[in-house]
Each structure stands twice: as structure tokens, then as C-alpha cells.
Amino acid sequence: MGTDLVVITLLMFIAAVLYSSVGHAGASGYLAVMALFSFEPSVMKPTALALNIVVAVIGTWRFYQAGFFSWKLFFWFAVASIPMAYAGGAIDVHISVYKILVGVVLLLAALRLFVTSLLKGTEAVKEPPRWASLASGAGIGFLSGLTGVGGGIFLTPLLILCKWSTAKTAAAVSVTFILVNSIAGLAGNWKNVNLISEFIPYFAAAVVAGGMVGTYLGTKRFDTSTLRRVLAVVLVFAGTKMIFL
């Protein structure tokens, strides 16, 4: 693979830095990179989930240590999401359908990155209704397992836009949500674990380094607004490629 492997690994590192800085593990970014380099869809899902787990462990630890995590907010979303992520992970959809699903997720991720680059988390927050936590947790969990993303691209903006959380707490809750969903999704997809990319050691090393850098910057209030807008453009390109090519 040569030069392509170096470029892919570097892009994985950059994605991990950017996503982890805002409490995400980067699955949509890893999917975008793999889509750009025409990885097989059967490889993309378990590989993205495995990389997600690695970065989410780092993010969970860092944001928890920084004091931003809320068990009360996390619990009901997670209770509903974990079994649904497992169920979604166990489903093998047709390649053409999977490509469309991932393409749509990447486009939604691009929209999320652009919108949240313009938003600031408010301090005036309210507790979400339990039914809303359970319903949204279940829906996001299922989509997470089905496509190979952790769900943070949906949960973070939901928490902020509904004023259920400040930006930092949303990041902390989302990264732990991503961790449990990615584990459940990969467990559900156990029969395809052997399809994880053979280059996973290189990718894992890159995202660990990126996750350490990104979570450090994120907990120190680093502003990645401009970079997130640039990444949004990349996700639009990758998502469009998945859907139409």
C-alpha cells in the first residue's frame, strides 16, 4: 500500500485529534478516510468501531478526570442505547444499502461539525425528560451499531440544542456514550471481527496519539471551530462519494 498507507494513517491521526477535542472518538472521520481510499464496506464497519473504542477510552478518562462527566445525564441514554447498538451491530445490510447509510451519516456529521462550530454551549441547562433520554438513546444506539459510528455526532448536538447540557459536559457524556455503544456494536458484529483491516496496528497507533493530543486540547478549552469547518467539507466529499460512486 506504501504511500497510501502513510497518508491514510496521517489522516486517521488528524481525525482523532479533531474529533477527540470535542468529545468524539472519530468514527465518522475514520469512515470518511476509508471511503476516500475505497476500502470494502465489510472492512469499514468493524475497523471504525475498533478504533472508536481505543480513542473513546482515552476521552472518557480525560474528560472524567477534568470533572465534566455527569453520570445522571449519561445513565438513561446509555441504558437504552447499549442493547440497540448490539442489535444494530448484528445486522449485515447489503453493500449498496450500507454505503448509502454511511454516506448519509457522513453528511449529517458534516452538518453537525459546521453547526457546532458556530454554537456555544449555554450554562442555563435543564434535565431531559426520561422518555426523551430513553427514546433518543435507543435510536442513536441502533444507528451506531448498524453503521459503525459511536453516536456522538447525534448525541452532542442534541444535548446542546435542547439545552440539556453545557458544551463540556456534552462532550464528556458523549465520549463515554460512544465507548459503550462501540463496544456493544462490535460485540454484535463479532462474526466480522476477522475483517478488521490488516493495517489496524498502524491506525490504532495513530488514533491513540491523536486522541491523547485532542483530549488534552479539548479539556484545556481549545477552539477547533475553523478546523471543524474544513473537516466538514471533507466529510461532505466522502459522504457524496459513498452515496453516488
One digit per residue, pLDDT tens: the chain, 245 residues? Answer: 678 899 999 999 998 888 887 777 888 889 889 988 989 888 998 999 999 999 999 889 988 888 889 999 999 999 999 999 999 888 887 878 888 888 888 788 788 777 766 665 555 788 999 999 999 999 999 988 888 888 887 887 788 778 898 877 888 898 899 999 999 999 998 888 899 999 999 999 999 999 898 888 777 655 556 656 766 776 787 778 778 76
Q: Is-contact 151 141, C-beta < 8 A?
A: yes
Q: How many Cα neighbours within 13 Å face the side chain of 26?
A: 37
User: Which residues span the domain enclosing 69?
Assistant: 3-244
- For residue 245, how many other CB atoms are within 10 A of its CB? 9
Q: Is-contact 149 189, C-beta < 8 A?
A: no
* Number of domains the chain is built from: 1
Instruction: Spell out the residues 6+ positions from residue 106 whose beta carbon is closer than 8 angstroms to its own.
Output: 28, 31, 32, 35, 235, 236, 238, 239, 242
**Which three cell numbers, joined as nine digits, stand for 177?**
456514550
What is the model's pTM? 0.82
**Of residues 162, 140, 1, the one with CA closest to residue 80:** 140
**Of residues 159, 165, 113, the one with CA closest to residue 136:** 159
**Which three cell numbers, joined as nine digits, stand for 148?**
459503525
Cα 149 to Cα 49, 145, 159, 223, 224, distances in angstroms = 7, 7, 18, 24, 21
